[in-house]
Amino acid sequence: MKSNWAHVAKKYLLHPYTLILAVLLVKIIAFRTVIFHNRSVSQIVLLEYPMWALALTLVVVLFKKRTWLAVWIFNAVLSTLFIVILYYTRYFSTLPSYYDVKQIYQSHSVGGTVALLGTPYDYLFFLDIILFLPLIHYFTKDKQPLYYNGARKGLLAFTCISVITTGLAFRQPLIDVSYFAKENGYLQSQVVQLYARSFGVALATQEKLTDADLEKLKGNDYVPFNKHQTFGVAKNRNVFVIQVESLQNFVINRDINGQEITPNLNKLLEDSAYFNNVYQQIGAGNTSDAEWVMHTGLYPEGMDPTVNLLKDSEVASLPRMLSEEGYGTATFHADDISYWNRNKLYPALGFNHVFTSEDIPEQQIIGFGPADEVTFRFAESQVQSLLQQFNRVYANIITLTSHTPFKMPEDYKYLELPTKFNDTYVGDYLQSVRYTDRQIGQFVANLKRLGMYDNSVILIYGDHSGLHGKPVTEEDQLLLEDLLGHPYNLNDRFIVPVLFTVPGIFDNEQISHLGGQTDLMPTLLNLLGIEPTSQLIGHNLFQYEHNLLGMRYYLPGGSYISDHTMYIAPSAQHPASLLTRETMKKAKLTNRSQKNINNTLTILQYSDQLRREQIGQ
Residue 396: closest CA among 238, 237, 241: 241
* Class of the CATH domain delimited by 211-615: alpha beta
What three-state secondary structure class fits 181? helix
Distance CA 368, CA 447 (A): 27
Residue 295: closest CA among 336, 253, 227, 348: 348
> Which letter, b or e, does each residue of 28-48 get, where b requires 16 or more Cβ atoms within 10 Å of its Cβ?
bbebbebbbebeeeebbeebb
Residue 201: closest CA among 614, 610, 609, 615: 609
- Asked which of 346-350, 434-438, 586-590 is least confident by mean pLDDT, the reply is 586-590
Range list for CATH 3.40.720.10 in the chain: 211-615
What three-state secondary structure class fits 554? coil
Q: Which residue has the higher pLDDT, 55 or 171?
A: 55
Q: Is the dihedral of CA 129, 130, 131, 133 positive or negative?
A: positive
Please give the annotated binding residues for Mn(2+), written as ranges. 245, 287, 463-464
Looking at residue 476, its pLDDT comes to 97
* DSSP class per residue in 488-500: --HHHHHEEEEEE
pLDDT at 8 over 70: no
Q: How far is CA 98 from CA 73, 81, 84, in A?
A: 19, 10, 11
Query: Known catalytic residues?
Result: 287
Looking at residue 617, its pLDDT comes to 60
Q: Where are the beta strands (DSSP E) in 165-292?
A: 238-244, 255-256, 259-260, 272-279
pLDDT at 60 over 50: yes
Cβ–Cβ < 8 Å for 245, 463: yes
pLDDT at 200 over 60: no
Looking at residue 62, its pLDDT comes to 87
Residue 438: closest CA among 237, 267, 586, 203: 267
What three-state secondary structure class fits 98? helix
167 by Cβ neighbours in 10 Å (0-12 / 13-18 / 19+) ranks as: exposed
Please give the annotated binding residues for substrate, written as ranges. 403
Whats the size of the chain, residue-wise? Answer: 617
Please give the annotated binding residues, written as ranges. 245, 287, 403, 463-464
Q: How far is CA 88 from CA 139, 254, 277, 309, 340, in A?
A: 37, 31, 28, 21, 16
Q: 60-64: long-range contacts (C-beta < 8 A, 24 or more apart)?
A: 60/17, 60/20, 60/146, 60/147, 60/151, 61/147, 61/151, 61/152, 61/155, 64/147
Establish whether the linkage from the previous residue to 405 is cis, with ω within 30° of 0: yes
Distance CA 187, CA 24 (A): 15
Q: C-alpha angle 237/240/243, rounded to 5°? A: 155
pLDDT tens sequence across 466-493 = 999 889 999 999 999 999 999 999 999 9
pLDDT at 128 over 60: yes
Q: What percent of the chain has pLDDT over 90?
A: 64
Looking at residue 37, its pLDDT comes to 83
Looking at residue 522, its pLDDT comes to 98
